[in-house]
Amino acid sequence: MGQEEPKKIALIFGAGPGLGGAVARRFAKGGYHVGVVRRKADSLVPLVEEIEKSGGQATAFGADARQEADVIQVFDQVEKLGDVEVVVHNIGANVHIPIREMDTRKYFKIWHMACFSGFLVGREAARRMSAHSKGTVLFTGATASLRGRAGMAGFAGAKHALRALAQSMARELGPEGIHVAHVVVDGPIDMPWIRENFPDLVKSRPADGLLSPDAMAETYWMLHRQPRSAWTHEIDLRPWVEPW
C-alpha cells in the first residue's frame, strides 16, 4: 500500500463566531482540514464540533497572534497534519477612542492586534508556502483600511498598514505562485457582537441588510480557487443597503 497523501490545510487566525468561523466551515466543506486559532482554544470547541458533525475535519489551536513564538508554534504544529495551502488573517481591533483620549498603550495594543499580528502570520505563511511554490494568504480588512473616521485613528492606522503589508506581499510572492489578497469589509457583519451592541442598527435594516458571514466566506473560497492567470488582489464586500 502506498503512503497516504498529506492533508490540505487551511489555517484560520481569528476563527470567531462571525466571519472567521464561517470561513473555517466553508474550507472544511471544500475538503480542507481546518486549523482554527483563537487565544483560548476552549472557545473553539463548538466550532470544531460543528465542522466534525458536518463531516469535516478541524483542529483547534490556542495562540496569541501578537506573539511571535505562538504564531511559529501554531505553524509548526499544523504542518504535522499536512501542507498549509491557505492562511487567513481575520483579526481586528475596531475600537473607538478619540485622539485626545488615546494613550500609547491603547494605540500600540490596537496596532499589535490589527497589524503586527498580520505581519507575523503573513511572514510564517510565506516561509512555509515558498517550499511548495503555491498557496493563498487572505487578509481581512475594513472600511478603515481605506479611510479614517473620527475617533478611529488607532484602528485606521493599523488597517492602513495591514493593507500596505498585503500589497507588498502580493508583489513579492505572486511571481512565486503564492496568491495574496485583501478583503475590505465595508459594513456590519451579522454576528452576535453586532446584534448585542448595536440593536438599533440591526432593527433599522431588513433581514439581509447585514453582511452574511456565510456569504462572505464564499468570496474567500472563490479567491483561493481563482486561476492564477487572473488573480484578484483586493475586493470589497458590503450589504446592499450600506451607504457609500
Per-residue pLDDT tens digits for 44-91: 999 999 999 999 999 999 999 999 999 999 999 999 999 999 999 999
Domains of the chain: 7-237 (3.40.50.720)
pLDDT digits (tens, 9 = 90+) for 170-200: 999 999 999 999 999 999 999 988 998 889 9
Residues found in the chain: 244
Chain centroid, CA 40 distance in Å: 17
Query: Residue 135 pLDDT > 80, yes or no?
Result: yes
Global confidence as pTM: 0.94
Q: Which residues pair with 184 in a beta bridge?
A: 141, 236
In angstroms, the CA 232 to CA 116 distance is 24
pLDDT digits (tens, 9 = 90+) for 94-120: 889 999 999 999 999 999 999 999 999
Write down the mean pLDDT value for the chain: 94
- In the sheet that holds 178-185, the strands lie side by side as 57-62, 33-38, 7-13, 82-89, 135-142, 178-185, 234-237
